[in-house]
Chain A
Amino acid sequence: MKVLTSRFAQADPTFAVGMVTSGPGGEIRVGDPVVVAGG
């Protein structure tokens, strides 16, 4: 996306992050809180 490189100064445009589970997984739901460790 040109807007990511030109307006947000991203050399390699990215959008979103990829995540792996650190445990066994499970069910997530709309409305679930998001907590960042140490945040």
Chain B
Amino acid sequence: MPAVVALYRYPVKGLTPEACNTLTVLSEGRIAGDRVLGFRFANATAADAAWSKKYEFVVLANTPALARLELGFDHRRKRLRIQRDGALLVEDALDDDGRKRISAVIQNHVLGLPDNPLSGHPERLPLRLVGDGVTPRYQDNERGQATLHSRETLAAVAAASGDPGLDEARFRSNIVIEGVAAWEENSWMGRRIRIGRVAFDVVRQRPAASPRTRIRGPANAIYR
């Protein structure tokens, strides 16, 4: 029988995941603690507490080198810690001053990257760290939606791409399962599945990464 083999959540949109032994699934499939923060452009049209498309944020799709940042988020104390290659970039609280300091450090870091969405776009500055650190609202899809892939599908893609080390972190799913045929999960569109005691409706096949976002990050992982 297929079973869950890994669970992930992504506290800050675009940054590294937390591997978890359990996840709490909320209404609409949102995961507690998932995408509760994000670095949004100054000229974003959405209110801070509202969902918007990812292109109003600094994300891996527009800033591939974000994959090299290592995130630590203390959900209880609401403190964010971001490192690069083991060196601390910033650690601060999610109060007003802390958010400004964190945003400034990330903005300066992103501006120094060769491929970034800020250079030449003064209207996008300053970056704002948005989100209350609790409410999961910045998923790629407005409806939230937990995402799932199988290790068998990952293995098929890894074999076809000639990259046996292809890391599932690249695909940024919440739920990873094992025990099905490759691509079998795609055949579940429109069907209901049960994971443990939680029932889900499979409603969407998720668009895959753009080639330009491929980059090797920590532990030889490739993220999007």
Contacts and interface: CB of A to CB of B under 8 A. Distances in A.
The answer to whether A and B come from one shared complex is yes
Interface residues of B, number: 61
Interface of B: 1-7, 21-29, 141, 143-149, 153, 156-157, 160-161, 171, 173, 175, 177, 179-180, 183, 185-186, 188-189, 191-211
Most buried by B among A2, A15, A35: A15
Contacts of B195: 28, 32-34
Contacts of A37: 191-194
19 contacts: A14-B205, A14-B207, A17-B202, A17-B204, A18-B204, A20-B28, A20-B145, A20-B200, A21-B28, A25-B29, A26-B25, A27-B24, A27-B25, A30-B7, A34-B180, A35-B193, A36-B192, A37-B192, A37-B193
Contacts of B197: 26-27
Contact of B208 (A15, A19, A24, A30): A15
B24 A22 contact: no
A16 B140 CA distance: 13
A26 B199 CA distance: 9
Interface of A: 1-4, 7-8, 10, 12-39
A5 to B, nearest CB: 9
Contact of B203 (A19, A27, A28): A19
Given A15-B149, A16-B185, A33-B2, A23 B198 contact: yes
A5 B13 CA distance: 27
B186 A17 contact: yes
B136 to A, nearest CB: 12
B178 to A, nearest CB: 9
A18 B84 CA distance: 31
B204 A32 contact: no
Contact of A2 (B26, B173, B188, B211): B211
Contacts of A23: 198-199
Given A28-B196, A34-B2, A17 B157 contact: no
A33 B177 CA distance: 9
A19 B160 contact: no
A22 B27 CA distance: 8
A35 B208 contact: no
Most buried by B among A7, A15, A19, A20: A19
Contacts of A18: 29, 141, 145-147, 202-206
A21 B146 CA distance: 9
